[in-house]
Structure 1
Amino acid sequence: MRNLLIAMFVFLVVSCAPSKSVKMDDTTTTKATDEIIGPKRRIGVVEFENKTAYGQKRLGQAVSDILITELVKSNRFVVVDRDKINKIMDEQKFQQQGAVDSQTAVKVGKLLGLEAIVVGAITNFGVRTEGSNYLLTQTKRQVAEVSVDIRVIDVQSGQIILADSGKGEAKSSKGGVLGMGTKGGYDETLEGDALRAAVVKFVDNISKQISKRPWSATIASASNTEIYINAGSDSNISMGMKLSCYRQGKEIIDPSTNMVIGHMENYLGDFEIVRYCGDGGNCSVAKPIKLEQTPSSGDICRLKNSK
């Protein structure tokens, strides 16, 4: 009899214990190399638009925060803090909530010296409750499903270099015996789990697309004898690295689409990184190797011979 009671107690505990599972959509995931080759890319993430009726602003903030975390964890990017982006948008009286168009994203990106900026939207979010009821046992399952769309915009050209979609699903189950254990409320952690499952694949896809384009940095200050760029040790900049610098001019517009596809550029010269500057890891000093014109703040530099 004692053994029977113990067995029944164990059965009750196991049956009532909650469980959770997360399903990721990896149908379009592309695996980027874990090895960091060359400088890290400077990128920003705008607060996502929530197009659903659920969660209002909270979900948009949550999904952009998750993407920022995953980008930083990848060790491939220097991600500008979203508070800085919001401050710039507020100062320039740009729209902070809802859809952010490509033109606004490019303006913000240039003001912050970014290579690319990510905008996106939650297009679907839903939570449903499922259950089963047998003679002795009952099961209650909560399921959260989410769909997220992103666009990655090249700051220099204004082109959308990646458009991607992701889906995530998270489940939380609670079992019960004779009515015990199934009365728990809504599991709020499901939101974050489903959102993370939807966006985690974006990191590799973003890295792959941005890596196809030449790395660039912005000149913060300059003279005839040296330049200061907005990339340093945090960006994996190394001493002796060679740069070619340019001044962007007139926009190049595709007559068939009327869209900007690039800028005319004026070659300024070649430079070599000689030291870091500042305490934040985001500044380097370069000396001229070959000087055609004196650079100015806002000019751009790329790795020499990078095309």
Structure 2
Amino acid sequence: MCIRDSNRPYSGVRSPIAVGKFDNRSSYMRGIFSDGVDRLGGQAKTILITHLQQTNRFNVLDRDNMSEIQQEAAIKGKAQRLKGADYVVTGDVTEFGRKEVGDRQLFGILGRGKSQIAYAKVALNIVNISTSEVVYSTQGAGEYALSNREVIGFGGTASYDSTLNGKVLDLAMREAVNKLVNAGDSG
């Protein structure tokens, strides 16, 4: 599936929007040995903020760095005039997984291959701040594969690639934001 880019020219009104909680609700990195820090949810939230801003349809309001922003305003001697959002985007990573698949040719003598595959699915909810009503929901999914092949001892072998998490989250988030933008553009 080709993901259409929502970063096309737009000169209309930009809606003020804030990003609320974004959690990892998948089973990935949530086992008994987990340290309790939601790295996947935090990474997804950062990607979401970037994609929302890049659509040119929203003024994304930063609520995570309020103390740092307040400190900088104080250093500059300026009073803050914070803007309120009309809507808050909340969401979850609903599915996330990784797997490795491999094959061998003639018991590995002629060659072997290995693929790392990551899959992610995210859900976004647009919430009206006045009524707490969820006015729009959408989902996005992405899959990313990295493959290497070795033939008669030549070629590379694939080791664990930690960047796959970000790549697959980016694909899933891009699809969800594109659906959000397309719904807004169509009324």
Instruction: Normalising by structure 1, report the TM-score.
Output: 0.47
Closer, same or farther in 2 for the Cα pair 1:32/1:157, shift >3 Å?
A: farther
Q: Secondary structure at the match of 2:44?
A: helix
1:49 to 11, 14, 23: 23
Amino acid corresponding to residue 57 of structure 1 in structure 2: D
Give 1:147 shift: 1.2
User: Where do residues 1-307 of structure 1 align in structure 2 (5 Å cutoff)?
Assistant: 34-37=9-12, 39-55=13-29, 57-84=38-65, 113-135=84-106, 136-179=110-153, 181=155, 183-208=157-182
Q: Is the 8 A contact 1:138 1:179 kept in 2?
A: no
The residue type equivalent to 2:123 in the other structure is D
Q: Displacement of 1:150 after TM fit?
A: 1.3
CA distance in 2, matches of 1:179, 1:85: 55
Q: How many residues align?
A: 164
* Contact kept in structure 2, 1:152 and 1:163, CA below 8 Å: yes
1:52 CA displacement: 2.1
1:169 alignment partner AA = E
Shift in CA distance, 49/75, structure 1 to aligned 2, threshold 3 Å: same
- In 2 relative to 1, CA 212–134 (structure 1 residues): closer, same or farther, beyond 3 Å? closer
Hey, what's the Cα distance between the residues in 1 that align with 2:120 and 2:90? Answer: 17
Cα displacement (A) at 1:170: 0.5
Is contact 2:22–2:45 with CA below 8 Å preserved after alignment?
A: yes
* Higher-RCO chain (CA-CA 8 Å, sequence separation at least 6): 2
Q: Give the counterpart letter for 2:41 in structure 1.
A: G
Task: Give 1:167 shift.
Answer: 1.1
Q: Deviations over 1:260-295 (max 9, x none)?
A: xxxxxxxxxxxxxxxxxxxxxxxxxxxxxxxxxxxx
- The CA RMSD over aligned residues, in Å, is 3.0
CA contact (8 A) 1:162 1:209 kept: no
Partners of 2:95 and 2:178 in 1: CA distance: 23
Once the 2 structures are TM-superposed, how far is the Cα of residue 64 of structure 1 from its aligned partner?
A: 0.9
Structure with larger Rg: 1
After superposition, the C-alpha distances for 1:168-195 in whole angstroms (9 at most, x for unaligned) are 1000001112355454321111111111
Aligned partners of 1:33 and 1:57: how far apart in 2?
32
Letter in 1 for 2:99: R
Say which SS state the counterpart of residue 89 (structure 2) adopts: strand
Letter of the structure 2 residue corresponding to residue 148 of structure 1:
V
Conserved 8 A contact 1:32-1:208: no
Q: TM-score, normalised by structure 2?
A: 0.74
Unaligned residue ranges in structure 2 (runs of 5+): 30-36, 69-81
Question: Deviation above 6 Å: which 4+ runs of structure 1?
Answer: 29-33
Aligned-residue offset at 1:211: 6.6
Q: Structure 2: how far apart are the matches of 1:73 and 1:31? A: 8
Identical-residue share of aligned pairs (%): 30
